[in-house]
């Protein structure tokens, strides 16, 4: 911890008392030179590992050229990244911002404005989201989030959000009314506990959207950019959202967010309706183009699918007789180990054993390794996890 730590707001708590000074691939080194195996990727961000040379080379070149001019002018790599995203998805137009929350904020604004200005139905502004979801920390996106803890102390919250239980189409149906304009969800709830949407549920969600003329918004901020074994997680379900949002993995750690929407929504964001000073600037979109091209050229989504299956199978086998472990589940390289007790201490013990993981909700250990992680590193990580969890199980019996 540096001397400046007391000059920060304490909203991130104690930060585990760890400071990393160097990274490469799936490795991080702390101030003492101790090496760590990274199975969390800065919360599902560094999908190509730390300091990936496919990105650093292009970023270095861009740093010597130009950093920022504003969205008053054309930005070549912003246009190139938008083209890459639309060519490889069901979307037709992109808005760039700087974070996930901003991408979801843009999605919420676009949905409302489409109903208000394009359809002439300003009374339809309500968005249905889901319990245990996470959509960000701005006032609108924390309101959209289905977890009370992120809303604590921030009233009054903006109107126009209602919550359904996840994977429950009947309950969802009951919430659709004359004010509803959109349904917004994650295909895998990342922060909420690595909960996968069931295919049958998604089929009914899309049918309800069609039947009632609602927009379908998919939050791909954690699941997108190859993480779940497809470029975007919605592809697993054979659906085409009207809007989807990206951030975390898109820039390999450079701050960037994006909202992608279908053609019919284009005019809802007419000139002057929305904007961002930094959004899609030279540096973040250079990182975005390099990241996305690498994921596509090296077929890293497929790799994530294979490696993810391997990890879930191995963990299921090796943790099968551990009474602390309730379930191992995941989609690609977004994996959860649900335990019968809170996992905060286990996360710290794993850190002491030089393996970095994160929790997802109180009882789930979440793994989100680099899409380029080697089998050797995976095997080592699994073996440390198994040994830490079996020691904990033995201690619980005594
Ligand atoms: C992380 C995350 C967000 C918020 O992204 P920020 O960049 O922290 O604003 C929103 N939705 C999901 C699903 C996320 O995982």
Is 100 known as a binding-site position?
yes
Note the helical H segments in the chain.
41-44, 53-65, 76-87, 100-113, 139-144, 169-175, 199-212, 282-297, 300-318, 344-352, 375-397
Atom of ligand 1 nearest to the CA of 141: 10
Q: Which of 42, 45, 13 is nearest to 28 (CA)?
A: 42
How remote is the CA of residue 47 from the centroid of ligand 1, in Å?
A: 15
- Taking phi first (over 0 means left), then psi (-120 to 50 degrees means alpha), and beta for anything else, what does residue 238 get? left
Tokens of 333: 């390289």
Written as six digits, the tokens of 242 are 């009207």
Q: What is the CATH number of domain 3-51+299-396?
A: 3.90.1150.10
- Please report the pLDDT score of residue 1 as a whole number: 65
Q: Could you report the per-residue pLDDT of 286-321, keeping only the tens digit for each?
A: 999 999 999 999 999 999 999 999 999 999 999 999
Span 143-189, pLDDT tens digits:
999 999 999 999 999 999 999 999 999 999 999 999 999 999 999 99
pLDDT exceeds 90 at position 3: no
**What six digits make up the tokens of 90?**
């069901």
- pLDDT > 90? residue 2: no
> Best mutation site among 42, 43, 47, 101 for ligand 1, i.e. most ligand atoms within 8 A of its Cβ?
101
CB atoms within 10 A of CB 321: 9
Q: What percent of the chain has pLDDT over 90?
A: 96
Predicted model pTM:
0.98
Q: Are domains 3-51+299-396 and 66-297 of this chain identical in fold?
A: no
- For the CA atoms of 336, 338, 343, 349, what is the dihedral angle to 10 degrees? -60
Query: Is the CB of residue 134 below 6 angstroms from any atom belonging to ligand 1?
Result: yes
Average pLDDT across the chain, whole number:
97
Rounded to a whole number of angstroms, the CA Rg of the chain reads 21
- Known binding residue 134? Answer is yes
Q: How do the domains of the chain map onto residue ranges? A: 3-51+299-396, 66-297
Structure tokens at 278: 């930094």
Contact by Cβ (8 Å): 164, 193: no
Whole-number Å distance, alpha carbon 253 to ligand 1 midpoint, is 13
Q: Does domain 66-297 have CATH number 3.40.640.10?
A: yes
Residue 137, annotated as binding a ligand: yes
Does 329 have pLDDT greater than 90? Answer: yes
- The whole-angstrom separation of Cα 26 and Cα 20 is 13
Q: Using CA of residue 292, residue 293, residue 295, residue 299, what is the dihedral sign? A: positive
Handedness of CA 275, 280, 283, 287 (dihedral sign): positive
């Amino acid at each position: 911890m540096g001397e400046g730590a007391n000059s920060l707001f304490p909203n991130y708590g104690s930060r585990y008392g760890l400071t990393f000074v160097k990274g490469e691939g799936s490795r991080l080194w702390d101030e003492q030179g101790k090496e760590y195996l990274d199975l969390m990727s800065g919360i599902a961000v560094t999908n190509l590992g730390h300091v990936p040379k496919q990105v650093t080379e292009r970023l270095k070149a861009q740093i010597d050229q130009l950093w920022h001019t504003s969205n008053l002018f054309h930005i070549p790599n912003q246009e190139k990244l938008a083209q890459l995203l639309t060519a490889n998805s069901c979307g037709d137009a992109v808005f760039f911002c700087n974070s996930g929350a901003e991408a979801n904020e843009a999605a919420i604004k676009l949905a409302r404005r489409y109903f208000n200005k394009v359809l002439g139905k300003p009374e339809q502004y309500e968005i249905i989201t889901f319990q245990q979801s996470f959509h960000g920390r701005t006032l609108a996106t924390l309101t959209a989030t289905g977890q009370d803890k992120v809303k604590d102390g921030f009233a009054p919250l903006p109107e126009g959000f209602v919550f359904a239980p996840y994977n429950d189409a009947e309950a969802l149906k009951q919430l659709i009314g004359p004010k509803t304009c959109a349904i917004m969800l994650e295909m895998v709830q990342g922060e909420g506990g690595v909960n996968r949407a069931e295919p049958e549920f998604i089929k009914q969600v899309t049918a309800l959207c069609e039947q009632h003329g609602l927009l379908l918004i998919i939050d791909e901020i954690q699941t997108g950019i190859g993480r779940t074994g497809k470029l975007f997680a919605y592809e697993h379900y054979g659906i085409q959202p009207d809007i989807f949002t990206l951030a975390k993995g898109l820039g390999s750690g450079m701050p960037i967010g994006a909202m992608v929407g279908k053609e019919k929504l284009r005019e809802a964001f007419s000139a002057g309706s929305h904007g961002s000073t930094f959004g899609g600037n030279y540096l973040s979109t250079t990182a975005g183009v390099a990241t996305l091209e690498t994921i596509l050229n090296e077929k890293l989504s497929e790799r994530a699918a294979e490696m993810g299956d391997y990890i879930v199978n191995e963990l299921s086998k090796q943790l099968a007789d551990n009474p602390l472990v309730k379930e191992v589940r995941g989609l690609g390289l977004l994996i959860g180990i649900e335990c019968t007790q809170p996992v905060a201490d286990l996360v710290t013990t794993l850190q002491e054993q030089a393996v970095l993981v994160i929790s997802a909700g109180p009882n789930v250990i979440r793994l989100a390794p680099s899409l380029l992680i080697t089998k050797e590193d995976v095997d080592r990580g699994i073996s440390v996890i198994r040994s830490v969890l079996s020691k904990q199980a033995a201690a619980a019996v005594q």
